[in-house]
Amino acid sequence: MGPVFGPTTPLTTAAPTERSDAARNRQLLLDAAQQLVRADGVDALTMDALAKHAGVGKGTVFRRFGNRAGLLHALLDHSDRKFQAAFMFGPPPLGPGAPPVERLVAFGRARLSGIDIEGAMRRSAESGEGGARYTGAPYNTLKAHIMMLLRETPVHGDIPLLADILLAPLDSGLVMAQLATGSYTIEQIGDAWERVVRELAPATGQ
């Protein structure tokens, strides 16, 4: 009975009544914010820094996002929707056109590199969600995708539970803790995840 956010939800953060130039400006601000985070980390993302980087007045940023928490929320949503577009409509192996196991592996790798870049932001959002995390739209959009791919493989067992099991190790807090030990790269964390996927969901006829 949670909010509905399926494959048919339009991939825009703009409300239907938002004027298209406002939507475009919002998009430009979010792209600029994403650049700032990728370049200097989430701590560098302040309302001031964003205004300066995007070449707009500070008032515009505040009117658009309310405060820094609102900006972070909008940015994660922006990033989630970009990822969703990539795994639903983008080029293979993440998008359609590759065998399901290759799409699963590409999904894990892409998710992990998103954590590498936006982890601090994502972790604070996820921990704020508490138990609601697993009933919310972002989690269930990812889960629905994993379930769809698993159903295309000869895997046996309960598909929704297997999807939860595969998503659980992609938790931002866990991956950031693994990175913080200094013992692992995102590549190696991806290797371990890929190995589990390949043992659980053998490729069809390969």
Minimal distance, residue 178 CB to a copy of itself, in Å: 7
Closest CA relative to residue 101, chosen from 190, 201, 199: 201
**For residues 84, 90, 94 and 97, what is the CA-based torsion angle, rounded to 10 degrees?**
130
Span 105-164, contacts to a copy of itself by CB under 8 A? 123-124, 127, 130-131, 133-135, 157-158, 160-162, 164
Q: Residue 144 or residue 200: which is nearer to a copy of itself going by CB?
A: 200
Q: How far apart are CA 94 and CA 193, in angstroms?
A: 16
Number of Cα atoms under 13 Å in the Cβ half of residue 33: 30
> Using the rule CB under 8 A, is 199 a contact of a copy of itself?
yes
> Using the rule CB under 8 A, is 196 a contact of a copy of itself?
yes
Minimal distance, residue 181 CB to a copy of itself, in Å: 8
Q: Residue 61 or residue 163: which is nearer to a copy of itself going by CB?
A: 163
Number of Cα atoms under 13 Å in the Cβ half of residue 150: 22
Sequence-distant (≥ 6) Cβ neighbours of residue 125 within 8 angstroms: 72, 73, 76
Span 163-182, contacts to a copy of itself by CB under 8 A? 164-165, 168-169, 171, 173-174, 176-178, 180
Q: If phi over 0 gives left and psi between -120 and 50 gives alpha, with beta otherwise, what is residue 200?
A: alpha
Q: Which residue's structure tokens are 């493989």?
A: 153
Of the candidate residues 65, 83, 87, 193, the single one contacting a copy of itself (CB under 8 A): 193
Minimal distance, residue 5 CB to a copy of itself, in Å: 16
Residues at the interface with a copy of itself (CB under 8 A): 123-124, 127, 130-131, 133-135, 157-158, 160-162, 164-165, 168-169, 171, 173-174, 176-178, 180, 183-184, 188-189, 191-193, 195-196, 199-200
